[in-house]
């Protein structure tokens, strides 16, 4: 197994986020990845690598994200500081958003004011942007691309071990701590590498709204997600069971929302349904946005999985018999996230 580590991840270290109506210390912190690296030192389950600097990361990101959005992210910090030099000492959070066009707000005439442009590309105020955010996000995309290429080259399992996470980022928006959708980058890279069908199985507590949106009208990517019920759980506005895809993608999206408080037995039974749906699609490879915030001790989630359950998750994924890319997503019980992640990887190896 090849595990591609983002050496730029710690450059993204937010001070505060808006969480349920108040500013709090960020839940998505560099220690999340550090604890995984520490556990990998104790229990090495693969080869720890960094992506080749020659990878065309910009092209890979452009296969998923809109050019104006990528250009915005690349310049965002400089524009934030240009707005007010004192901003160099504080993170950027959006404070104004355009609603859908039917309400009269226009997005075809982008504002010059940076605060307004930040709101145009964000769907929440919980995703702080700082000086190192772009380098960290771009480094994560490089890890996802490298992992996909490793699988195309014959590796059975490969992982993009990176933060910030990615599965909430859509073609032209950020949110949920995410800027670049690493899982979508990996899935597209697998297709561009010659595979005809790829499945995405998202096991994060929070619905991968960005990934669903990226592939909503496509039949070459089947997306399945097990997550908290969007009537009560973030990101709220996508993730319902009746969302099956649109146009050519109708029938190629499966959402399996579960109530807060779900314990392992129900979650496991639901996973079997998702695995069967993936198998029925007969993909040539699998991408797993690996969220560990289903853990019983997670501070912002509500499922009840225990550390040993992640070994079973890894074994279940392996039983599909598919070349698989994993991307590191949520998991905010920081002290336990390393054990839980490496348990999945050990389960993959049988």
| Neighbour-count burial of 85, counting CB atoms closer than 10 A to its CB (0-12 exposed, 13-18 middle, 19+ buried) | exposed
> In which element (H, E) is residue 218 found?
none
Token pair belonging to 92: 């950027």
N-term to C-term CA, the chain = 12
Catalytic residue among 9, 168, 206, 207: 168
Residue 70 — φ and ψ, nearest 5°?
Answer: -65, -40
* CA distances from residue 343 to 40, 59, 249 in whole angstroms, order as listed: 10, 33, 34
| Largest CA-CA distance found in the chain, in angstroms, rounded | 56
**Phi-psi category of residue 305: left, alpha or beta, with phi > 0 → left and psi -120 to 50 → alpha:** beta
Token pair belonging to 232: 């009560």
**What DSSP assignment string belongs to 95-129?**
------GGGT---SS--SSHHHHHHHTBS-S---B
Alpha helices in the chain (DSSP H): 31-42, 57-62, 67-83, 114-120, 133-152, 182-192, 209-214, 264-281, 309-319, 334-349
Note if 168 is an active site residue.
yes
CA dist 284 and 324 (Å) reads: 9
The catalytic site residues sit at 168
């Amino acid at each position: 197994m090849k595990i591609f580590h983002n050496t730029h991840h710690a450059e993204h270290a937010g001070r505060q986020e808006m969480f349920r109506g108040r500013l709090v210390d960020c839940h998505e912190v560099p220690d999340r990845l550090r604890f995984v690296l520490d556990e990998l030192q104790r229990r090495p389950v693969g080869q720890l690598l960094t992506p080749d600097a020659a990878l065309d990361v910009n092209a890979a990101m452009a296969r998923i994200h809109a050019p104006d959005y990528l250009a915005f992210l690349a310049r965002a910090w400089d524009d934030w500081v240009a707005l007010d030099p004192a901003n160099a000492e504080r993170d950027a959070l959006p404070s104004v958003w355009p609603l859908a066009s039917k309400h009269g707000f226009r997005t075809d005439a982008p504002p010059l004011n940076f605060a307004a442009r930040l709101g145009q590309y964000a769907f929440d105020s919980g995703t702080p942007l700082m000086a190192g955010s772009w380098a960290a996000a771009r480094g994560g995309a490089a890890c996802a691309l490298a992992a996909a290429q490793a699988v195309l080259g014959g590796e059975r399992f490969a992982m993009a071990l990176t933060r910030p996470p990615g599965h909430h980022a859509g073609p032209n928006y950020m949110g949920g701590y995410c800027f670049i959708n690493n899982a979508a980058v990996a899935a597209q890279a697998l297709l561009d590498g010659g595979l005809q069908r790829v499945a995405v199985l998202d096991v994060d507590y929070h619905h991968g709204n960005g990934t669903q949106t990226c592939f909503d009208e496509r039949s070459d990517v089947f997306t399945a997600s097990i997550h908290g019920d969007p009537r009560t759980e973030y990101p709220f506005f996508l993730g319902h069971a009746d969302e099956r895809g649109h146009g050519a993608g109708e029938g190629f999206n499966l959402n399996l929302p579960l109530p807060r408080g779900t314990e392992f037995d129900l979650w496991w039974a639901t996973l079997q349904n998702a695995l069967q749906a993936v198998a029925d699609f007969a993909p040539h490879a699998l991408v797993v946005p690996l969220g560990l915030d289903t853990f019983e001790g997670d501070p912002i989630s509500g499922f009840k999985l225990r550390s040993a359950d992640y070994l079973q998750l890894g074994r279940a994924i392996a039983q599909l018999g598919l070349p698989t890319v994993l991307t590191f997503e949520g998991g905010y019980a920081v002290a336990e996230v390393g054990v839980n992640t490496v348990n999945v990887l050990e389960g993959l190896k049988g």
